[in-house]
Amino acid sequence: MADNGSDFGAFLSGFLIGGLVGAAVSLMMAPQSGEETRTQIRTKGIELRDRADSELSDLRGKTEQQLAEFRTRSEKVLDEARTKLNDAVEQGKEAAKNIRKDVKSELPGGSENAAG
């Protein structure tokens, strides 16, 4: 799960840096006025922000889904462990009861004590 977040972080960083470098190079190479350049920078900045917001929203949705799945699996494992523990406790009680019976029956006058 941590690898997915790390991979996305690397992707987002590369995406933003690549976008900015590409925009800067294209603006430097294009013959246009300062006003046109500022307009183009503003437009590209808005596009990059929107794309970053979209990617962040997708990541947030995927993270929430993974957390819900993790919680469901964790609850299932916990319930299974609780059931196994309860079964083991019951088996231990039953074994202790049987040992007490055996010990009482081996004591002198054990048949009388076993009944009472």
Pairwise CA distance, residues 83 & 89, whole Å: 10
Q: Of 27, 50, 48, whose CA–CA distance to 37 is shortest?
A: 27
pLDDT at 2 over 70: no
pLDDT at 87 over 50: yes
- 75 pLDDT tier (thresholds 50, 70, 90): very high
pLDDT at 82 over 50: yes
Tell me what the mean pLDDT of segment 86-108 comes to: 90
Kindly report the pTM of this predicted structure: 0.47
